Amino acid sequence: MESPHGILLVAFIATFAVIHLSQAEDQEGFISVDCGLPPSEASPYIEPDTGLWFSSDSDFIQTGKIGKIDPSLRKTIKTYVTLRYFPDGIRNCYNLSVKQGTNYLIRVTALYGNYDGLNITPKFDLYVGPNFWVTIDLENMISGQTEEIIYIPRSNSLDLCLVKTGATTPMISSLELRPLPNNIYITESGSLKRFKRYYLTSSNAILSYPDDVNDRVWEPKFDPEWKHISTTLEANNSNGFLVPHDVLKTAAIPANATARFKITKELDFPDDEIYLYLHFSEVQSLQINESREFDIFWNGQPFDNTVSPKYLKTTTIKSTTPVTCKGGVCNLELIRTTNSTLPPLLNAIEIYSSVKFHQLETNENDVFAIRKIKARYGLNRITWQGDPCVPQKFLWDSLNCNSTDTSRQPRITYLNLTSSGLKGTIAAAIQNLTDLEKLDLSNNNLTGEIPGFLANMNSLMLINLSKNNLIGFIPQALLDRESEGLTLFVDGKHRCLSGSCVTEKKFPVKTAAFVSSATVMVIIVVLVLIFVVKKKTSSNSEVLPPSSIKPSVNVTSNNISEISIKMKRKKFTHSEVMEMTKDLERPLGEGGFGIVYHGVINGSQQVAIKILSQSSTQGYKEFKAEVRNCSYSNMFKQMCFMYSFILVQVELLLRVHHINLVSLVGYCDEREHLALIYEYMSNGDLKDHLSGKHGSSVLKWNTRLQIAIDAALGLEYLHIGCRPSMVHRDVKSTNILLDEGFTAKLADFGLSRSFQFGDEDHASTAVAGTPGYLDPEYYRTGRLAEMSDVYSFGIVLLEIITNQRVLDQTREKIHIAEWTAFMLNRGDINGIMDPNLHGDYNSHSAWRALELAMLCANSSSEKRPNMFQVVIELKECLASEISMKSNDQDMDSQSSPEVSMSCDTKDVPSAR
């Protein structure tokens, strides 16, 4: 026989289980998050006042830090102890799983509680998905600020984002979601932001869950001009709104039975559109000769039909269309009719302002795909939170989207994960980005084969998979796409990416013998040609660079000696140089090589003439380098030998020529007189324009971006367009010159080096360059590569963005890259950008350019992008800036009555 204690224990456990199950059913769909609560500290737990289950927010967000309110305040503020604050980044987002199409009440509470000891209350914005919801301003809010909105998610995922808007740090104490019936709180469009929710009583009790099964918070309200009436009986509240019974047990009537019942409220924003919900239930059992009947007026206008509340039954009168309040002052009046013996009655009132969210979320499939890619590669980037595409000012870095049309869901069109440390195979989720046009996965550690699904992505026009460890064959379907306009970058030029897929082929003996003979003949011809060229060169007393000659090959002749060599680059005498410069009348500047003078050729062509300083120990060496490197490419592009004759095709690139490289017009090499003659760049160098040396107007942001693109294109040509590749080695703002149209061109090739080492992409050289711009890895190892120029370009880009000196002993961080990293930790781009711009830039394009600059200036060359990638990113950046400015102008024109009357306009998103 069981003991009485055992029976009692079983009964207690059964009772607790029934209560717990009942509560769990009531809370179905509830999301209750205690922000900042460590998951190890009793999570989830039951909140004692409501009986609701609260859990840690650690499963809903990956950023932010945990804070606790000042212990001395906990005696007066009992609701929250922990919080989460966000010192890093601009936008930090919670991501919650919801049911698409369900009406949710979303409630956010922020209680500062002097958690950081600074006693500086924060101010920041809240966003629901890509749309602004409300500003949190905790000044004079000792007990915190709570905001509610009734919102219907368009997908099964909901982002709630805290956005930094000033110097203070966003923070949050709790986040709650409560599903509501879909047949209540219906609007013409938009969502409902709570303004007030009152029940009329002389009590001080605030009602919420479990009194309200939907966990709406009802605050008590009572005026001296009112009289309190109540009942102990429960009314029938089954009209859909499920107003709590305790709300319906109490009501207010005018203290003067003949007076009107009035409620007056002032809106926070006078132009808000209002939705009104009035709840009535008769609490008095009326006699046969008694009646209660009244009309409702809103701002002096009839609101609804005559109301006669039913005893212990709920009647809700609501807005079917939004109403407004003149001057932001709302007046509600209940006026008894002539048939009524009793004054008007009101139990409760809810007032909401209408919030219209115009910006659609990014396509749900794209969001799901990019988040799978993020998880697959562990890309924990602080900017990769919230909606990937919108608003545009928070566009995820390394992405671009077609988000200018607010009537359509944005789609991801560009994914750039170069130098992101990706490992493993190419993620299958990429194929779900069905509108993707450009994909860059270069310079990572990806393995495995190239997946065939890339060929099926019809929108793709560029794929860069170079500098990875991929193996196997390139899918034939992908190669076929190249004829349709697809640009494909892979390691190697053949269908096979590695030796693993090379099949052994047997060559006939005759073919092998012929190939061997042809090889020997190639070597002989090359040696003979080199001997002829050297002999021709040595017979001339002047110094001719290799690129100053061009062979003219007569393919019908087998006699190599018949190749004619003719001069291409003009050599000038010292007297001609003096005549051009009018005896060195107008100096333009001075560098390590010597002084640069203005000159004129043939009375019309302006040139810049760099004359070697007699005191320059490296001048002659640098002079030779400029002439050689500005014009040299590989001597032989193709040599073909057939069975009975030899066909020799020799192509010499007469000079490096690109619109973004300063052209070498000629040179002077006359004993001790050495000079280089360049095209004239009338607007001087970039450094002078940034510093305002010429007193000219400040370079605008889009002009700066275009200058950066021009310089990047010049470097891209040196690195990729030249064969062998060329490294500039002295990229800096004083070596970026501007012509009359502010087209930028790279100058000063005195330190440039060309090299070609088969599979190697670097060379060991004596370290040279300019302090501050010099690649630290190159300085440390002496191993020169194109990435050394990328580092220097990153420093130039930082100059363009910040207008800071590269090295400044007066700064807290001397080097510009270190200073920028230091400032970035504060998250305020205004403190980084050149103040001369006066904020005239789109912060999204500014952030994007800044991130690119810091990536280029990374101390590790493996993490830097190549110049091809830099050019793409800068062009996207400029396109974004131009698009934003265009959108701003469109919005301005829409807001102007004069323009809107004469021009057709369309909705566009606002720009940051």
The answer on pLDDT for 128 being more than 70 is yes
Domain count, the chain: 5
Choosing from 476, 502, 528, the residue where a domain stops is 502
Q: How many CA atoms lie within 13 A of 792 on its CB side?
A: 29
**pLDDT at position 485, please?**
87
- 31 against 555, higher pLDDT: 31
- In single-letter form, the type of residue at position 202 comes to S
Q: Are 686 and 744 spatial neighbours (Cβ–Cβ below 8 Å)? A: yes
- Interstrand relation of 487-489 and 462-464 (parallel, antiparallel or unpaired): parallel
- 448 against 720, higher pLDDT: 448
- Torsion 529-533-534-536 (CA) sign: positive
- 753 against 386, higher pLDDT: 386
- Based on the domain organization, do 168 and 34 belong to the same domain? yes
The answer on pLDDT for 186 being more than 50 is yes
Q: How many Cβ atoms sit within 10 Å of the Cβ of residue 389?
A: 28
Q: How many Cβ atoms sit within 10 Å of the Cβ of residue 723?
A: 12
**pLDDT at position 615, please?**
54
**pLDDT at position 684, please?**
87
CA distance 795 to 838: 22
From 556, 580, 581, 553, select the one nearest 566 (Cα to Cα). 553
Helix (H/G/I), strand (E/B), else coil: 425: coil
Instruction: Write the CA distances from 214 to 26, 248, 573, 649, integer angstroms.
Output: 9, 16, 93, 84
* CATH of residue 142: 2.60.120.430
Tell whether omega for the bond before 44 is within 30 degrees of 0, i.e. cis.
Answer: yes
Q: Quick one: pLDDT band at residue 272, thresholds 50, 70, 90?
A: very high
Tokens 């107008």 correspond to 586
CA distance 487 to 444: 19
The catalytic site residues sit at 730
User: What share of the chain has pLDDT > 90, as a percent?
Assistant: 52
Q: What token pair was written down for 765?
A: 């050289």
**Segment among 318-327, 328-337, 576-585, 640-649 with least mean pLDDT:** 640-649
**pLDDT at position 658, please?**
84
CA distance 316 to 407: 35
- Based on the domain organization, do 553 and 607 belong to the same domain? yes
**Burial of 825: CB neighbours in 10 Å, binned 0-12, 13-18, 19+:** exposed
Supply the DSSP string of 176-230, one letter for each residue: EEEEE-TTSS--SSSEEEEEEEEEE-S--PPB-TTTSTT---BEEE--TTEEEEE
Q: How many CA atoms lie within 13 A of 604 on its CB side?
A: 0
Domain that holds residue 254: 194-355
- Based on the domain organization, do 168 and 42 belong to the same domain? yes
Which range of 7-16, 425-434, 652-661 scores highest in mean pLDDT? It is 425-434
- Based on the domain organization, do 620 and 729 belong to the same domain? no
Q: Is 610 annotated as a binding residue?
A: yes
Q: Specify if 536 maps to a domain.
A: no
- Torsion 897-900-903-906 (CA) sign: positive
The answer on pLDDT for 870 being more than 60 is yes
The answer on pLDDT for 508 being more than 80 is no
CA distance 260 to 674: 101
Q: What token pair was written down for 570?
A: 């003009």
The answer on pLDDT for 841 being more than 80 is yes
253-262 tens-digit pLDDT: 999 999 999 9
599-622 tens-digit pLDDT: 999 888 899 998 876 555 444 555
The answer on pLDDT for 499 being more than 70 is no
Give me the long-range contacts of 519-527 (CB less than 8 A, separation at least 24).
521/641, 521/646, 522/639, 522/641, 525/560, 525/639, 525/646, 525/648, 526/636, 526/639
**pLDDT at position 333, please?**
96
- Torsion angle of the four alpha carbons 658, 437, 476, 508, in this order, in degrees rounded to the nearest 10: 10
CA distance 71 to 51: 24
* CATH of residue 826: 1.10.510.10
**In the predicted model, what is the mean pLDDT of residues 68-86?**
82
CA distance 468 to 441: 8
CA distance 823 to 409: 35
**In the predicted model, what is the mean pLDDT of residues 319-346?**
93
Q: Specify if 18 maps to a domain.
A: no
- 830 against 91, higher pLDDT: 91
- Interstrand relation of 605-612 and 570-571 (parallel, antiparallel or unpaired): unpaired
CB within 8 A of 354, min separation 6: which ones? 187, 189, 190, 191, 192, 193, 272, 273, 274, 275, 322
Q: Are 66 and 116 spatial neighbours (Cβ–Cβ below 8 Å)? A: no
- Interstrand relation of 646-649 and 664-670 (parallel, antiparallel or unpaired): unpaired
Q: Specify if 212 maps to a domain.
A: yes
**pLDDT at position 526, please?**
52
Tell whether omega for the bond before 270 is within 30 degrees of 0, i.e. cis.
Answer: no
- Based on the domain organization, do 344 and 386 belong to the same domain? no
Q: Are 578 and 595 spatial neighbours (Cβ–Cβ below 8 Å)? A: no
- Based on the domain organization, do 671 and 746 belong to the same domain? no
Q: Specify if 509 maps to a domain.
A: no
- Based on the domain organization, do 233 and 340 belong to the same domain? yes
Q: How many Cβ atoms sit within 10 Å of the Cβ of residue 24?
A: 11
Q: Quick one: pLDDT band at residue 562, thresholds 50, 70, 90?
A: very low
From 234, 236, 238, 198, select the one nearest 217 (Cα to Cα). 198
Helix (H/G/I), strand (E/B), else coil: 596: strand
- 62 against 491, higher pLDDT: 62
Q: Specify if 186 maps to a domain.
A: no
CA distance 224 to 207: 22
The answer on pLDDT for 11 being more than 80 is no
- In single-letter form, the type of residue at position 236 comes to N
**pLDDT at position 294, please?**
97
- 423 against 530, higher pLDDT: 423
The answer on pLDDT for 75 being more than 70 is no
Q: Quick one: pLDDT band at residue 668, thresholds 50, 70, 90?
A: confident
**pLDDT at position 311, please?**
97
Q: How many Cβ atoms sit within 10 Å of the Cβ of residue 618?
A: 14
Give me the long-range contacts of 573-578 (CB less than 8 A, separation at least 24).
573/668, 573/670, 574/668, 574/670, 574/673, 574/675, 576/668, 577/609, 577/611, 577/668, 577/673, 577/675, 577/677
From 580, 593, 589, select the one nearest 748 (Cα to Cα). 593
Q: Are 845 and 759 spatial neighbours (Cβ–Cβ below 8 Å)? A: no
- Chain centroid to Cα 406, Å, comes to 18
DSSP label of 896: -
- Based on the domain organization, do 586 and 484 belong to the same domain? no
**pLDDT at position 630, please?**
43
- Based on the domain organization, do 234 and 307 belong to the same domain? yes
From 768, 761, 780, select the one nearest 732 (Cα to Cα). 768
* CATH of residue 247: 2.60.120
**In the predicted model, what is the mean pLDDT of residues 532-557?**
38
- Based on the domain organization, do 286 and 392 belong to the same domain? no
From 160, 177, 214, 221, select the one nearest 196 (Cα to Cα). 221
Q: Angle between the 816-824 and 843-856 helix axes, to the nearest 10 degrees?
A: 130
- Chain centroid to Cα 576, Å, comes to 55
- Based on the domain organization, do 199 and 331 belong to the same domain? yes
Q: Specify if 627 maps to a domain.
A: yes
709-763 tens-digit pLDDT: 999 999 998 888 776 778 888 899 999 999 888 999 998 765 566 554 333 445 5
**pLDDT at position 751, please?**
55
**pLDDT at position 523, please?**
54
Helix (H/G/I), strand (E/B), else coil: 866: coil
Q: What token pair was written down for 20?
A: 């717990």
**pLDDT at position 213, please?**
95
Supply the DSSP string of 389-411, one letter for each residue: SSSGGGPPTTEEE----TTS---
Q: Are 151 and 96 spatial neighbours (Cβ–Cβ below 8 Å)? A: no
CA distance 815 to 825: 16
Choosing from 618, 646, 680, the residue where a domain stops is 680
- Chain centroid to Cα 876, Å, comes to 12
Q: How many CA atoms lie within 13 A of 117 on its CB side?
A: 1
- 154 against 172, higher pLDDT: 172
Q: Specify if 316 maps to a domain.
A: yes
CA distance 14 to 26: 18
- Interstrand relation of 145-151 and 103-110 (parallel, antiparallel or unpaired): antiparallel
**pLDDT at position 646, please?**
28
Q: Specify if 314 maps to a domain.
A: yes
In terms of residues, how long is the chain? 912
Choosing from 624, 645, 680, the residue where a domain stops is 680
- Based on the domain organization, do 560 and 436 belong to the same domain? no
